[in-house]
Amino acid sequence: MSLTDSKMQESISWWRGGVIYQIYPRSFLDSNGDGIGDLPGITEKLDYVASLGVDGIWLSPFFTSPMLDFGYDISDYRDVDPMFGTLGDFKALLKRAHALGLKVMIDQVISHTSDQHPWFQESRQDRTNDKADWFVWADPKPDGTPPNNWLSIFGGAAWTFDSRRRQYYLHNFLKSQPDVNFHHPEARQAQLDNMRFWLELGVDGFRLDTVNFYFHDTALRDNPPVPEGEAKTLGAPDSNPYTWQRHVYDLSRPENLDFLKELRALMNEFPGTTTVGEIGDDNPLERMAEYTAGGDKLHMAYTFDLLNAPHSPAYIREVVDRFQRLAGDAWPCWALSNHDVVRSATRWGADEDPVAYPKVALAMALSLRGSICLYQGEELGLPEADVPFERIQDPYGKVLWPEFKGRDGCRTPMPWTHSEQGGFSQVEPWLPVEERHLPLAVANQQGDANSVLNATRTLLAFRRQHAALIEGDIHLVEVGEELLGFVREGSQERLLCVFNLSDKTLSTTLPQSGTPLRGHGFISTLDGNTLTLPPYQAAFLSLDH
């Protein structure tokens, strides 16, 4: 392969081992003084994002929406909601990102629309219109109750009665988010056409919301309960009855695989573009392997296995081992935080050192086989914000309060400066700025060599210097119960990676000798084959290839 061909292939497969920075537009930067982040605000801060050393960005929804679920209820797939700007603003963002060498991925929420979408407005009029079957409609049971026992993630039944059609419609989320009927070929093609619109505009890929929710069981069979004593593996809190069912018939249906192949065929028309799917499932790693294997479906996917509360070395080993046994040629995308879960600095690190722990957790994640999503503020070590009930915006939190406070705590404004409103806005923002975030603002951390921000930059630069961390295989190694260790093996190098996620100094006898690497910002001591790691430290050793 020539150097030119090699560079071209590298550009096409940039996502494989790439690091993608997730931006939640409402909370990144308010450029027009209305208290809500917007597209021009993102464009203004792209130089900062590029300075981290990431490969691309993922933008959560900015499409036209009544905002009952903050943009995940779309009423126009091909336009920008005025609160975020205009289509021209998005084109300017895209141009600037590409000039900085950043790829741009955007959310695609195609499993459901807003109830304000023209498709649904037409569909609900009667049972004979052109879009009558573009959504999932079903007759009541003889006693008038819903067709089956399916539940909404946001609480209550997944069915709402519509008096015009005298039928129920399905919604896995809010009742204002009716599910598209993917069994209908025209509805399915319409969503593919919406995605083509953005590909032709120049986007580099899609994050696919609830990618395993597209199809449902046409027989509408009841879901079985989770047997007593068995684990509930979905990402929802235990206080939500949704976790009490095994979701056999309302999601992850076999027909989805054929649609993902149709989607991949579309993506293949635009070389260098990619997809990452969000998977919430009773068997998430199995689903990830199924959806990303073979090179003809999704490019990559993420689950909630590292977005949940468990985080011991034993748990992480089990996740890695289980995926490796299932994977084949499948490709994961790992994340420790995102807009749906408690920030990892709190979820995993609440009782740990607030500066040292986020660094070593990030080092671990960046060393796993796969791609990485880094959520805005994670590079600052931000803890979960405490949003008082009267300021809660998330409908999920309002329903399940106080056992579950919703997702607002991870969505509060990005702190740019240690000043009023954190430099996010000149007015009171849509969610309050967390006081504990202000000392951790970007401006405060920029000049601090020991900050989480600069540790993130160091780690990302280190990762780029070692191809084994980007493309290599992974093999777990025995380093004791309290440490986590694995080997990353590429075509040119083998690296042993060992992590101490605890507040104790720990030692281990290595399975083989190696040469310690520098340039990653962590400290350790190697005496013969005995490696000693102080609290919250990592070691990277080069092994004979």
Catalytic site positions = 209, 269
Place of tokens 């004593």: 229
DSSP for 43-60 reads HHTHHHHHHHT-SEEEEP
What phi and psi values does residue 290 have, to the nearest 5 degrees? -65, -40
Q: Could you give the CA distance from residue 279 to residue 433 in angstroms, rounded to a whole number?
A: 30
Q: Could you give the CA distance from residue 80 to residue 227 in angstroms, rounded to a whole number?
A: 45
Q: What is the CA angle 75-79-83, rounded to 5?
A: 85
Buried residues in 355-364 as b, exposed as e (16+ CB within 10 A): bbbbbbbbbb
**Secondary structure of 315-384 in the HEC alphabet?**
HHHHHHHHHHHHHCCCCEEEECCCCCCCCHHHHCCCCCCCCHHHHHHHHHHHHCCCEEEEECCHHHCCCC
The DSSP H or E segment spanning 98 is: helix 87-99
Residue 105 three-state SS = strand
Long-range contacts, stretch 251-254, CB < 8 angstroms, 24+ apart: 251/172, 251/210, 251/212, 251/213, 251/215, 251/216, 251/280, 251/281, 252/212, 252/281, 252/282, 252/287, 253/214, 253/215, 253/216, 253/217
Place of tokens 């995993």: 348
Q: At what angle do helices 255-268 and 185-201 cross, to 10 degrees?
A: 30
The DSSP H or E segment spanning 526 is: strand 525-527
Q: Could you give the CA distance from residue 111 to residue 173 in angstroms, rounded to a whole number?
A: 10
Q: Could you give the CA distance from residue 501 to residue 504 in angstroms, rounded to a whole number?
A: 9
DSSP for 260-309 reads HHHHHHHHHTSTT-EEEEE---SSHHHHHHHHHGGGSS-SEEE-STTSSS
Quickly count helices (H) and strands (E) in the chain: 15, 21
Q: Could you give the CA distance from residue 222 to residue 361 in angstroms, rounded to a whole number?
A: 40
Q: Could you give the CA distance from residue 149 to residue 222 in angstroms, rounded to a whole number?
A: 5
Q: Could you give the CA distance from residue 537 to residue 484 in angstroms, rounded to a whole number?
A: 11
DSSP 3-state helix, strand, coil percentages of the chain (rounded to 5)?
30, 20, 50
Q: Could you give the CA distance from residue 476 to residue 226 in angstroms, rounded to a whole number?
A: 32
Please confirm whether the linkage preceding 402 is cis (ω < 30° from 0): yes
Q: Could you give the CA distance from residue 405 to residue 412 in angstroms, rounded to a whole number?
A: 14
In the 8-state DSSP scheme, what is residue 521?
Answer: S
Q: Could you give the CA distance from residue 232 to residue 242 in angstroms, rounded to a whole number?
A: 10
